[in-house]
Structure 1
Amino acid sequence: MQVKELLLQTLLHIGDGDFETFKWYLTEGSDSWEAIPVSSLEKAPRTGTVSHMTQAYGEESAVNITAKILEKMKKKDAADKLKKTYAEGRAPATAPAAPPAAAAAAPAAVSAQGGSVVFAPTVSGSSTGTWNVTINK
Structure 2
Amino acid sequence: MPTVSTVLVDHLDDLLDAEFNRFKWHLTDGVADGFSPISKGKLEKAKQQEVVNLMISAYGPSDAGKITGRILRKMQQNNLADQLKKNLAEVKDQEDQADQADGAVSSPAKASRAPRVHQNIKADSSGRVSANVISDGQFHGPTNLTFN
Fold similarity call, TM over 0.5: yes
Alpha carbons 1:27, 1:37 under 8 Å: kept: yes
Distance 2:135 2:97 in 1: 25
Unaligned 5+ segments in structure 1 are 120-137
Write out per-residue CA displacement over residues 85-121 of structure 1, whole angstroms, 9 at most, x where no aligned residue: 1111111347826958xx8x56843458xxx9986xx
Aligned to 1:134: none
1:33 Cα deviation after fit: 2.5
Whether 1:60 and 2:55 are equivalent positions in the alignment is no
SS at match of 1:96: helix
Higher strand share: 2
The 5 Å alignment of 1:59-98 reads 59-91=61-93, 92-93=96-97, 96=100
- Runs of 4+ aligned structure 1 residues displaced above 2 Å come to 92-95, 97-100, 105-112, 116-119
1:48 to 22, 47, 50: 50
Q: TM-score, normalised by structure 1?
A: 0.70
Determine what percentage of the aligned residue pairs are the same residue. Answer: 34
The code of the aligned residue for 1:14 comes to L
Q: Which residue of 2 aligns with 1:123?
A: none
**Structure 2 length-normalised TM:** 0.65
* Structure 1, 67-76 or 84-93: larger mean CA deviation: 84-93
Which has the greater radius of gyration?
1
**C-alpha distance after superposition, 1:39-60 (max 9, x if no partner):** 0001111111111111111111
> Number of paired residues?
114
Matched with 1:36 is 38
Which amino acid counterpart does residue 36 of structure 2 have in structure 1?
E
Flag structure 2 segments of 5+ consecutive residues without an equivalent: 117-132, 137-148
Q: 1:43 to 1:89 in 2, by over 3 A?
A: same
Question: Does the 8 A contact of 1:110 with 1:118 survive in 2?
Answer: no
Q: How does 1:105-116 map to 2 (within 5 A)?
A: 108=111, 109-110=113-114
Letter in 1 for 2:60: G
